Amino acid sequence: MKLTGSKILIECLKEQGVDTIFGFPGGAVLNIYDELYRSQNEIRHILTSHEQGAAHAADGYARATGKVGVCLATSGPGATNLVTGIATAYMDSVPMVAITGQVATPLLGKDSFQEVDITGITMPITKHNFIVKDVNKLADIVRRAFYIAKEGRPGPVLIDICKDVTAAYAEYEPKSPQELPEVPVRVDEKCIDEAAEAINKAERPVILAGGGVSIAGANKELFEFATNAQIPVTTTLMGMGAFPGTHELFMGMIGMHGTKTTNMAVSESDLFIAIGARFSDRVISNVQRFAPKASIMHIDIDPAEIGKNINVQYALEGNIKKILQLLNERVKKKECTDWVRKINEWKELYPLKYPQDDKLHPQYIIERMYELTKGEAIITTEVGQHQMWAAQFYKYTSPRQFLSSGGLGTMGYGLGACIGARIGRPDKKVINVAGDGSFRMNCNELATAVEYKLPIIVAIFNNHALGMVRQWQQLFYGGRYSSTSLDRCTDFKALAEAYGAIGINVTAKEEVDEALNRALASEDTPVVINFEIDKDEMVFPIVPPGAPLSELIEE
């Protein structure tokens, strides 16, 4: 049957199981929006306040559900407003398809109204991208885009569609989505045997679980591996929830703001096993002095990551789930070891801490958030000190529970991601932990949350400063606070109410539970809680840039 390009696009989205699109209309995508109107009972369109919010919402939806997130924008500024969200998804391996409108094919390359080369702009931050100039190729391109976004190491794909293509007719034949091939194990039995032997012989092993564990659905295999072999576990920021944060073998996060126990364990370990992690600079800090006594074992789906940032003695490339299964068949079961006992001693000696007084401390707020939600909420974050407190003091016990911009560090990410996560997981309470600086960037998405009656919670840790940058200025720049004090008169409670949300101010410790309980009780209205905290609150521990992990500042 012959259909228009816009109808073909919508039919292909239905083929792929798309039930939600986040977007903002414009001239180049009018034909697509017309078809969306006709298909509104099958595909829900969420109108965000800004295209960047649409990209972050699609990202949060994808992270929370494991499905491909979809966002839609018009040509020119609409498309460029997606760029930060696309880059965020790319850095954190999030499956997303971004669809943009483009000027009609005769107008390409003529500096036409709202024309930009969005495929050229996004080439370095997508797994692949397409410009569609022929309606006869549209269906295959859409299908291929979804396949690429999900296949192997996931990531964003962009489809740029010329406006005349959306109006032209072509033959359409429905097809089922192409099945993803099982990711192979790209190492031989001998390498698996050697790795297992190294694990069995190790006296002080450490496991680092990254975001790749959750993406691969390998959480159960990781748990069996760690508990049977009695190996202490740490995670990257992206790996939160890959291993239960309540388990006795869990040491806390690694790296710049990792626990002292973790960073000491890494420095003393004789075998460091990284699983689905990419050895970012925030994890390893000083490359020459990272895990100086250890052999390095790296298990990852992406061969480009193995050996990229650090030398590896045991390289296990391919399907993380399968590799862990093969190792579990070979690794010897152990009882509690001297090494685990030493780790537990360190955990007692060096817990994460903050002043136990009557002041309103951010760490206390996160702890109460954990208790009152019974540890079951999905937490999204902006980027900064509040992000680290959320990582340190909320115990994540399942994958896809902590959504944060790890690789790109995108301020303004959290609110859009919170909206996407709540739409994807309406069965969960979703809380966005924000700083006042980050929240200002995309606070306009409160209008979206109100319009769609989403009972999300925004917890603003308001220190009237760009807290993390200010902390660095205090510790490493002689206290010269250049452009980091936010002496502004924004009334966040009134701002929330202006959007139609519920606004709450909290200035004292004894007000925390009442505010959180009120927010958690909301069924169809967003709640913004403005927590007034001291601008001199800091994130500890911290490893100074370029220092080894063992040389951290504790307070």
Q: Which residues are catalytic?
A: 51, 113-114, 163, 468
Answer positive or negative: Cα dihedral of 410, 416, 417, 418: positive
Alpha-carbon span 430 to 441, nearest angstrom:
20
Q: Helix-strand-coil percent breakdown of the chain, rounded to 5?
A: 40, 20, 40
SS3 69: strand
User: Is there a contact between 159 and 148 (Cβ–Cβ < 8 Å)?
Assistant: no
Q: Which residue has the tokens 């707020």?
A: 365
Burial of 231 (C-beta count, 10 Å sphere; 0-12/13-18/19+): buried
Please state, in angstroms and rounded to a whole number, the distance separating the CA atoms of residues 289 and 305. Answer: 20
Contact indicator for 424, 65 with CB cutoff of 8 Å: yes
3 state SS for 147-197: HHHHCCCCCEEEEEEEHHHHHCEEECCCCCCCCCCCCCECCCHHHHHHHHH
Alpha helices in 466-548 (DSSP H): 467-476, 492-499, 512-521
Instruction: Please report, for residues 22, 208, 252, 266, 541, the alpha-carbon distance to residue 262 in angstroms, rounded to integers and kept in the order given.
Output: 39, 10, 6, 6, 11
Cα–Cα distances (Å) from 326 to 191, 196, 214, in that order, read 11, 9, 18
Report d(CA 10, CA 21) in Å as an integer: 11
Give the C-alpha separation, 452 to 137, whole Å.
35
Residues 193 and 226: their CA atoms lie apart, in Å, by 17
d(CA 113, CA 58): 27
Token pair recorded at residue 21: 């699109």
How far, in Å, are 410, 479, 541 from residue 484 at the CA level?
A: 17, 11, 21
Short-list 292, 300, 458, CA closest to 379:
458
State residue 10 phi and psi, 5-degree precision: -65, -40
Q: Which residue has the tokens 């050697």?
A: 194
Polymer length in residues for the chain: 555
Close Cβ partners of 245 (under 8 Å, ≥ 6 residues apart): 394, 395, 396, 397
